[in-house]
Amino acid sequence: SVLFVLIRGPSKVTTGETAQFECSARCNPQCNYVWSVGAFNTGTNESSTTTERVTVTNPYSVQPLKDREPKLNEPYSLMCTGPRKLPTVLWYKDGEALAFDPRMSLSEDNSTLSFSSLLSSDGGHYQCNIPTGNIIIESTEYFLTCEYDVPLDVRISGPDTAEVRKEHVFECITNCSDSCSIHWTFNQGFPSGSLAIRQGVMRWTPDRPNIVQNLSCVASIPLAQRSATASKSVRVTAPTSTKGPDSGCEMLKPNIILGVALIVVLLFRFNS
């Protein structure tokens, strides 16, 4: 990923004086930078452009203190490493200053961040910043996830039967957090009707009765190269009609009574 690409430097320069420009970005993995400089002569309307590719090597990084996978409810430590002793170290998580809690502690020189017991909420992108003079060196990021040791569990909630022209909601439920990606697949055909998907929630209004629609949800943790799939079959039915009388005889009863009443009235008038 590449985020927050910035060029820092003066907006005006003077002939014969040195001007410094700095290009920075948050990259994972490491970025290669390309500078493009254009010159325009306002008198002759001539212009020229040159491009130079620059590879920036960042010797500062965040690494696990020990080569082992992080596990929930167990201690874990991250270390800010560099080519020389770090005078000052500032810790960041997901681009913001790290908010400490009682489970976290720092070494005497701030270069090591330790957790007494990992929680799922500790997952994220960790970075250490090293102020040196007028600039701050930003280390490469380390992505911490605490879910490698937890088996992925995926299921689909929602009805087994769906009626046409009615909206039905299905949700892909997993036991993984932000490090998990969720997507729906329809290997046996896209659902017919109106469909809206937002992350793990799918809203479907079918328009064809008497079919069976297969739904599949895939949850994956890319960094751990793990995934799990849940499937569900939904039978689509015709609209429910209003229930009528049990037999046709019931419908005839009021008409028969009315006919008998008319005959009695006519006979009475005829005799009188």
Tell me the pLDDT band of 29, cut-offs 50, 70 and 90: low
Average pLDDT over residues 62-74: 84
Give the three-state DSSP class for 164.
coil
Which pair of structure tokens corresponds to residue 250? Answer: 């019931």
pLDDT given for residue 264 in this prediction: 47
* Together in a domain, 43 and 78: no
The percentage of the chain sitting over the pLDDT mark of 70, rounded to a whole number, equals 78
Please say which residue of 103, 122, 144 terminates a domain.
144
CA dist., res. 259 & res. 242, Å (int): 28
Predicted pLDDT of residue 10 = 80
Q: Which two tokens stand for residue 159?
A: 């009805």
- Using one digit for the tens of pLDDT, what is the confidence trace for 178-216? 567 889 998 878 888 999 998 889 999 999 999 999 999
User: Domain span at residue 221?
Assistant: 154-237
Per-residue burial over 170-203, b if 16 or more Cβ lie within 10 Å, else e, is bebebebeebbebebeeeeeebebeeeeeebebe
Find how far residue 231's CA is from the centre of its chain.
Answer: 20
Distance CA 141, CA 270 (A): 106
pLDDT tens digit string along 218-237?
Answer: 988 765 667 899 999 999 99
Question: How high is the pLDDT of residue 127?
Answer: 94
Over residues 113-139, the pLDDT tens digits come to: 999 998 878 888 899 998 877 778 888
Give a yes or no: residue 271 inside a domain.
Answer: no
pLDDT score of 14: 67
* Per-residue confidence band for 7, with pLDDT thresholds at 50, 70 and 90: confident
Looking at 97, 117, 144, the residue that finishes a domain is 144
Q: Is the pLDDT of residue 257 over 60?
A: no
Residue 46 sits in the same domain as residue 83: no
Do 99 and 74 lie in one domain? The reply is yes
Mean pLDDT (the chain) is 80
Among 99, 126, 144, residue at a domain's last position: 144
Q: What is the pLDDT of residue 265?
A: 46
Give me 198's structure tokens: 């937002």
Per the domain annotation, does 245 fall within a domain? no
Same domain, 39 and 79: no
Question: Does the residue 230 lie in any domain?
Answer: yes
Band (269; pLDDT cuts 50, 70, 90): low
Confidence of residue 252 (pLDDT cuts 50, 70, 90): very low
Q: Does residue 131 lie in a domain region?
A: yes
| Residues 65 and 137 grouped into a single domain | yes
Position with higher pLDDT, 244 vs 49: 49
Cis peptide, bond prior to residue 10, ω within 30 of zero: no
Same domain, 70 and 43: no
Overall number of domains in the chain: 3
- Provide the percentage of residues in the chain whose pLDDT is more than 90: 33
